Amino acid sequence: MSDAFIHYTEARAYPTIGVILLGGISDRTKRIPMHTSAGFAYTGLDQDIWVDTRVMVNRGAPFGDLNGEEVQYSESGRSPFVILNHYRSKIFDHLAVREEAALSFRSRNVGILSGSSDAGAAAMGSCIAEMAGGVDDMVAFENELRSISESVGRSLYGGLTVTWADGRNARTEQLLSPEAFRDYVVIGCSFNVQRKPSDRIHENAVSSPDYPKRIDSTAKKAKELVKLSEQRDIKGIFELSHQDTGEYHRLNESVGVNIITPGMRKLMKKVDQDRVEMWMSYIVTGGSNVFVITEKKNMNEIADRYRGYCDSQSLLSVAEGAKVIAGSKP
Protein backbone atom coordinates (compact mmCIF):
# COMPACT_ATOMS: atom_id res chain seq x y z
CA MET A 1 0.00 0.00 0.00
CA SER A 2 1.41 3.38 -1.03
CA ASP A 3 0.21 6.86 -0.15
CA ALA A 4 2.62 8.49 -2.62
CA PHE A 5 -0.18 9.89 -4.76
CA ILE A 6 0.19 11.95 -7.90
CA HIS A 7 -3.38 13.20 -7.89
CA TYR A 8 -6.53 12.63 -5.89
CA THR A 9 -10.22 13.54 -6.00
CA GLU A 10 -12.64 13.14 -3.09
CA ALA A 11 -16.44 13.05 -3.35
CA ARG A 12 -19.29 12.88 -0.86
CA ALA A 13 -22.56 11.04 -1.42
CA TYR A 14 -25.52 10.09 0.73
CA PRO A 15 -27.18 6.74 1.40
CA THR A 16 -30.70 5.99 0.24
CA ILE A 17 -34.11 4.68 1.24
CA GLY A 18 -36.54 3.07 -1.20
CA VAL A 19 -40.00 4.48 -1.92
CA ILE A 20 -41.02 1.93 -4.55
CA LEU A 21 -38.94 -0.97 -3.30
CA LEU A 22 -36.67 -3.03 -5.53
CA GLY A 23 -36.60 -6.81 -5.58
CA GLY A 24 -34.99 -8.60 -8.52
CA ILE A 25 -31.94 -7.85 -10.66
CA SER A 26 -30.69 -9.15 -14.01
CA ASP A 27 -27.64 -10.95 -12.57
CA ARG A 28 -25.10 -10.70 -9.77
CA THR A 29 -22.60 -8.66 -11.77
CA LYS A 30 -24.42 -6.16 -14.00
CA ARG A 31 -27.30 -5.83 -11.48
CA ILE A 32 -29.80 -4.14 -13.80
CA PRO A 33 -33.13 -3.84 -11.92
CA MET A 34 -35.88 -6.09 -13.22
CA HIS A 35 -38.56 -3.50 -12.59
CA THR A 36 -39.01 0.21 -12.03
CA SER A 37 -38.31 1.50 -8.52
CA ALA A 38 -37.87 4.79 -6.68
CA GLY A 39 -36.17 6.20 -3.61
CA PHE A 40 -34.48 9.18 -2.01
CA ALA A 41 -31.06 10.06 -0.64
CA TYR A 42 -30.90 10.92 3.06
CA THR A 43 -28.66 12.41 5.69
CA GLY A 44 -29.04 13.45 9.33
CA LEU A 45 -30.76 16.70 10.28
CA ASP A 46 -27.28 17.98 11.14
CA GLN A 47 -25.81 16.68 7.85
CA ASP A 48 -23.93 14.06 9.85
CA ILE A 49 -24.55 10.97 7.67
CA TRP A 50 -22.57 10.41 4.48
CA VAL A 51 -19.97 8.43 2.53
CA ASP A 52 -16.70 10.06 1.54
CA THR A 53 -14.67 8.33 -1.17
CA ARG A 54 -11.23 9.35 -2.37
CA VAL A 55 -9.81 8.02 -5.66
CA MET A 56 -6.07 8.38 -6.06
CA VAL A 57 -3.52 8.08 -8.81
CA ASN A 58 -0.65 6.61 -6.83
CA ARG A 59 2.80 5.22 -7.36
CA GLY A 60 3.12 1.53 -6.62
CA ALA A 61 0.41 -1.11 -6.53
CA PRO A 62 -3.34 -0.38 -6.48
CA PHE A 63 -5.07 -0.66 -3.12
CA GLY A 64 -8.54 -0.32 -1.71
CA ASP A 65 -9.71 0.64 1.76
CA LEU A 66 -13.30 0.53 3.04
CA ASN A 67 -13.73 1.86 6.57
CA GLY A 68 -10.19 0.83 7.43
CA GLU A 69 -10.55 -2.69 6.00
CA GLU A 70 -8.47 -3.71 3.01
CA VAL A 71 -10.36 -4.37 -0.24
CA GLN A 72 -8.54 -7.01 -2.24
CA TYR A 73 -7.57 -6.06 -5.78
CA SER A 74 -9.54 -7.88 -8.48
CA GLU A 75 -10.09 -7.40 -12.20
CA SER A 76 -13.41 -9.26 -12.34
CA GLY A 77 -16.88 -9.39 -10.84
CA ARG A 78 -18.23 -6.51 -8.77
CA SER A 79 -14.84 -5.19 -7.68
CA PRO A 80 -14.59 -1.36 -7.75
CA PHE A 81 -11.24 -1.86 -9.46
CA VAL A 82 -13.07 -3.05 -12.59
CA ILE A 83 -14.66 0.33 -13.25
CA LEU A 84 -11.53 2.20 -12.09
CA ASN A 85 -9.42 0.27 -14.59
CA HIS A 86 -12.02 0.80 -17.34
CA TYR A 87 -11.50 4.58 -17.02
CA ARG A 88 -7.78 4.39 -16.26
CA SER A 89 -6.56 5.53 -19.70
CA LYS A 90 -9.07 8.37 -19.92
CA ILE A 91 -8.18 9.56 -16.41
CA PHE A 92 -4.46 9.40 -17.07
CA ASP A 93 -4.85 11.26 -20.38
CA HIS A 94 -6.95 13.99 -18.77
CA LEU A 95 -4.54 14.37 -15.84
CA ALA A 96 -1.45 14.07 -18.08
CA VAL A 97 -0.03 11.21 -16.02
CA ARG A 98 3.12 10.11 -17.86
CA GLU A 99 4.56 7.55 -15.48
CA GLU A 100 3.66 4.09 -14.27
CA ALA A 101 0.91 4.51 -11.73
CA ALA A 102 -2.19 2.85 -10.29
CA LEU A 103 -5.72 3.86 -9.37
CA SER A 104 -6.63 3.27 -5.73
CA PHE A 105 -9.42 4.30 -3.40
CA ARG A 106 -10.38 4.89 0.20
CA SER A 107 -14.01 5.06 1.30
CA ARG A 108 -15.47 5.89 4.70
CA ASN A 109 -19.06 5.55 5.94
CA VAL A 110 -20.34 7.89 8.65
CA GLY A 111 -23.54 7.26 10.62
CA ILE A 112 -25.32 5.22 7.94
CA LEU A 113 -28.42 3.16 8.79
CA SER A 114 -28.83 1.50 5.38
CA GLY A 115 -28.11 2.14 1.71
CA SER A 116 -24.36 2.63 2.08
CA SER A 117 -23.45 0.82 -1.15
CA ASP A 118 -25.51 3.31 -3.20
CA ALA A 119 -23.56 6.18 -1.68
CA GLY A 120 -20.20 4.46 -2.09
CA ALA A 121 -20.87 3.75 -5.76
CA ALA A 122 -22.10 7.30 -6.40
CA ALA A 123 -19.13 8.90 -4.64
CA MET A 124 -16.70 6.76 -6.61
CA GLY A 125 -18.54 7.60 -9.82
CA SER A 126 -18.28 11.32 -9.08
CA CYS A 127 -14.55 10.97 -8.55
CA ILE A 128 -14.10 9.07 -11.81
CA ALA A 129 -16.15 11.57 -13.81
CA GLU A 130 -14.17 14.49 -12.37
CA MET A 131 -10.78 12.86 -12.95
CA ALA A 132 -11.69 11.78 -16.49
CA GLY A 133 -12.86 15.26 -17.46
CA GLY A 134 -16.48 14.12 -17.67
CA VAL A 135 -18.30 11.13 -19.13
CA ASP A 136 -19.98 11.02 -22.54
CA ASP A 137 -23.12 9.08 -21.57
CA MET A 138 -24.45 9.40 -18.02
CA VAL A 139 -27.02 6.62 -18.47
CA ALA A 140 -24.34 4.18 -19.58
CA PHE A 141 -22.06 5.37 -16.79
CA GLU A 142 -24.78 4.88 -14.17
CA ASN A 143 -25.32 1.35 -15.44
CA GLU A 144 -21.61 0.62 -15.11
CA LEU A 145 -21.78 1.80 -11.49
CA ARG A 146 -24.66 -0.65 -10.87
CA SER A 147 -22.10 -3.44 -10.60
CA ILE A 148 -21.24 -1.85 -7.24
CA SER A 149 -24.86 -1.06 -6.28
CA GLU A 150 -28.02 -1.64 -8.29
CA SER A 151 -29.78 1.52 -7.07
CA VAL A 152 -26.78 3.86 -7.33
CA GLY A 153 -28.83 6.43 -9.28
CA ARG A 154 -30.73 7.42 -6.13
CA SER A 155 -27.51 8.58 -4.50
CA LEU A 156 -25.98 9.92 -7.69
CA TYR A 157 -28.79 12.40 -8.34
CA GLY A 158 -30.16 12.93 -4.81
CA GLY A 159 -33.59 14.13 -3.75
CA LEU A 160 -36.47 11.90 -4.81
CA THR A 161 -35.68 9.80 -7.88
CA VAL A 162 -37.31 7.15 -10.04
CA THR A 163 -35.33 4.45 -11.84
CA TRP A 164 -37.08 3.23 -14.97
CA ALA A 165 -35.97 -0.35 -15.61
CA ASP A 166 -36.91 -3.63 -17.28
CA GLY A 167 -33.96 -5.95 -16.62
CA ARG A 168 -32.15 -4.87 -19.80
CA ASN A 169 -32.05 -1.10 -19.55
CA ALA A 170 -32.24 1.32 -16.63
CA ARG A 171 -31.99 5.04 -16.10
CA THR A 172 -32.63 7.30 -13.13
CA GLU A 173 -34.13 10.78 -13.06
CA GLN A 174 -34.72 13.19 -10.21
CA LEU A 175 -38.37 14.04 -9.53
CA LEU A 176 -37.97 16.43 -6.59
CA SER A 177 -35.05 18.20 -4.95
CA PRO A 178 -34.40 17.97 -1.19
CA GLU A 179 -35.98 21.41 -0.73
CA ALA A 180 -39.42 19.94 -1.49
CA PHE A 181 -39.16 17.85 1.71
CA ARG A 182 -38.02 20.61 4.07
CA ASP A 183 -41.17 20.35 6.24
CA TYR A 184 -40.85 16.59 6.77
CA VAL A 185 -38.59 14.36 8.84
CA VAL A 186 -37.79 10.67 8.63
CA ILE A 187 -37.30 8.99 12.01
CA GLY A 188 -35.01 6.03 11.49
CA CYS A 189 -36.01 3.43 14.10
CA SER A 190 -33.23 0.83 14.14
CA PHE A 191 -33.24 -2.72 15.48
CA ASN A 192 -30.16 -4.68 16.51
CA VAL A 193 -30.86 -7.67 14.29
CA GLN A 194 -28.96 -9.12 11.35
CA ARG A 195 -30.30 -7.95 8.01
CA LYS A 196 -31.04 -10.35 5.16
CA PRO A 197 -28.41 -10.35 2.37
CA SER A 198 -29.63 -8.27 -0.55
CA ASP A 199 -28.75 -10.98 -3.07
CA ARG A 200 -31.04 -13.41 -1.28
CA ILE A 201 -33.90 -10.90 -1.53
CA HIS A 202 -33.25 -10.26 -5.22
CA GLU A 203 -32.89 -13.92 -6.14
CA ASN A 204 -35.93 -15.16 -4.24
CA ALA A 205 -38.35 -12.39 -5.23
CA VAL A 206 -38.28 -13.35 -8.92
CA SER A 207 -39.31 -16.92 -8.07
CA SER A 208 -42.71 -15.80 -6.83
CA PRO A 209 -45.62 -16.59 -9.17
CA ASP A 210 -46.83 -13.06 -8.40
CA TYR A 211 -43.62 -11.43 -9.65
CA PRO A 212 -45.10 -10.40 -13.04
CA LYS A 213 -47.83 -8.59 -11.09
CA ARG A 214 -45.11 -6.85 -9.08
CA ILE A 215 -43.49 -5.62 -12.30
CA ASP A 216 -46.81 -4.19 -13.49
CA SER A 217 -47.60 -2.70 -10.09
CA THR A 218 -44.28 -0.85 -9.76
CA ALA A 219 -44.64 0.60 -13.26
CA LYS A 220 -48.09 1.98 -12.38
CA LYS A 221 -46.86 3.33 -9.05
CA ALA A 222 -43.96 5.10 -10.74
CA LYS A 223 -46.35 6.92 -13.06
CA GLU A 224 -48.43 7.90 -10.03
CA LEU A 225 -45.27 9.04 -8.25
CA VAL A 226 -44.45 11.35 -11.15
CA LYS A 227 -47.91 12.92 -10.88
CA LEU A 228 -47.63 13.30 -7.10
CA SER A 229 -44.23 14.94 -7.55
CA GLU A 230 -45.57 17.38 -10.13
CA GLN A 231 -48.30 18.31 -7.61
CA ARG A 232 -45.74 18.52 -4.77
CA ASP A 233 -47.98 16.14 -2.81
CA ILE A 234 -45.41 14.97 -0.26
CA LYS A 235 -47.94 13.18 1.92
CA GLY A 236 -49.26 11.40 -1.13
CA ILE A 237 -45.74 10.26 -2.02
CA PHE A 238 -45.24 8.72 1.41
CA GLU A 239 -48.71 7.18 1.39
CA LEU A 240 -47.73 5.45 -1.84
CA SER A 241 -44.52 4.21 -0.22
CA HIS A 242 -46.47 2.98 2.81
CA GLN A 243 -48.66 0.87 0.55
CA ASP A 244 -45.66 -0.38 -1.42
CA THR A 245 -43.93 -1.52 1.78
CA GLY A 246 -46.82 -3.89 2.44
CA GLU A 247 -46.86 -5.27 -1.11
CA TYR A 248 -43.08 -5.74 -1.18
CA HIS A 249 -42.95 -7.68 2.07
CA ARG A 250 -45.95 -9.86 1.25
CA LEU A 251 -44.16 -10.93 -1.92
CA ASN A 252 -40.89 -11.65 -0.09
CA GLU A 253 -42.64 -13.58 2.67
CA SER A 254 -44.45 -15.69 0.06
CA VAL A 255 -41.05 -17.06 -1.06
CA GLY A 256 -39.67 -17.56 2.45
CA VAL A 257 -37.74 -14.33 2.95
CA ASN A 258 -38.96 -12.79 6.21
CA ILE A 259 -37.33 -9.40 6.69
CA ILE A 260 -39.67 -7.91 9.28
CA THR A 261 -38.94 -9.13 12.82
CA PRO A 262 -41.58 -9.31 15.58
CA GLY A 263 -40.19 -6.11 17.10
CA MET A 264 -40.37 -4.27 13.81
CA ARG A 265 -43.90 -5.57 13.24
CA LYS A 266 -44.97 -4.29 16.66
CA LEU A 267 -43.78 -0.78 15.81
CA MET A 268 -45.45 -0.88 12.39
CA LYS A 269 -48.77 -1.88 13.97
CA LYS A 270 -48.46 0.97 16.46
CA VAL A 271 -47.85 3.46 13.65
CA ASP A 272 -50.85 2.10 11.75
CA GLN A 273 -53.00 2.66 14.83
CA ASP A 274 -51.66 6.18 15.44
CA ARG A 275 -52.13 7.26 11.82
CA VAL A 276 -55.81 7.75 12.66
CA GLU A 277 -55.07 10.71 14.93
CA MET A 278 -51.94 12.24 13.35
CA TRP A 279 -50.47 11.98 9.85
CA MET A 280 -47.46 9.73 9.56
CA SER A 281 -46.26 6.91 7.37
CA TYR A 282 -43.53 4.28 7.33
CA ILE A 283 -41.18 2.53 4.96
CA VAL A 284 -39.51 -0.80 5.67
CA THR A 285 -36.89 -1.80 3.09
CA GLY A 286 -34.64 -4.86 3.12
CA GLY A 287 -32.73 -3.85 6.25
CA SER A 288 -33.34 -3.71 9.98
CA ASN A 289 -35.03 -0.30 10.21
CA VAL A 290 -38.54 1.07 10.28
CA PHE A 291 -38.45 4.55 8.75
CA VAL A 292 -41.30 6.64 10.18
CA ILE A 293 -42.12 9.78 8.19
CA THR A 294 -43.85 12.71 9.84
CA GLU A 295 -44.18 16.47 9.57
CA LYS A 296 -41.21 18.26 11.10
CA LYS A 297 -43.45 20.12 13.56
CA ASN A 298 -44.44 16.75 15.10
CA MET A 299 -41.04 15.03 15.04
CA ASN A 300 -40.20 15.30 18.76
CA GLU A 301 -43.59 14.01 19.84
CA ILE A 302 -43.46 11.10 17.40
CA ALA A 303 -39.85 10.25 18.23
CA ASP A 304 -40.67 10.16 21.95
CA ARG A 305 -43.74 8.02 21.30
CA TYR A 306 -41.75 5.28 19.53
CA ARG A 307 -38.44 5.45 21.38
CA GLY A 308 -39.26 2.38 23.48
CA TYR A 309 -40.21 0.34 20.42
CA CYS A 310 -36.72 0.17 18.88
CA ASP A 311 -33.07 0.00 19.88
CA SER A 312 -32.06 3.44 18.59
CA GLN A 313 -33.34 6.40 16.59
CA SER A 314 -31.93 8.84 14.06
CA LEU A 315 -33.58 11.97 12.68
CA LEU A 316 -33.17 12.12 8.92
CA SER A 317 -33.80 14.51 6.05
CA VAL A 318 -33.73 14.18 2.27
CA ALA A 319 -30.25 14.82 0.86
CA GLU A 320 -28.67 16.18 -2.30
CA GLY A 321 -26.80 14.23 -4.94
CA ALA A 322 -23.15 13.18 -4.98
CA LYS A 323 -20.55 15.92 -5.42
CA VAL A 324 -16.79 16.41 -5.46
CA ILE A 325 -15.57 18.07 -2.27
CA ALA A 326 -11.77 18.04 -2.58
CA GLY A 327 -8.90 17.27 -4.89
CA SER A 328 -5.44 18.15 -6.06
CA LYS A 329 -4.89 20.06 -9.27
CA PRO A 330 -3.62 18.18 -12.33
Q: In DSSP terms, which residues pair with 18 in a beta bridge?
A: 39
How high is the pLDDT of residue 1? 45
Q: Is 71 helix (H, G, I), strand (E, B) or coil?
A: strand
**pLDDT for 242-284, tens place per residue?**
999 999 999 999 999 999 999 999 999 999 999 999 999 999 9
**pLDDT for 84-100, tens place per residue?**
999 999 999 999 998 88
Kindly give, in sequence order, each residue whose CB lies less than 8 Å from that of residue 34, ignoring residues fewer than 6 positions away: 24, 25, 26, 165, 166, 167, 206, 215
Q: Is the pLDDT of residue 287 over 80?
A: yes
Alpha-carbon Rg for the chain, nearest whole angstrom, is: 20
CA distance 249 to 267: 15
**pLDDT for 97-141, tens place per residue?**
988 899 999 999 999 999 899 999 999 999 999 999 999 999 999
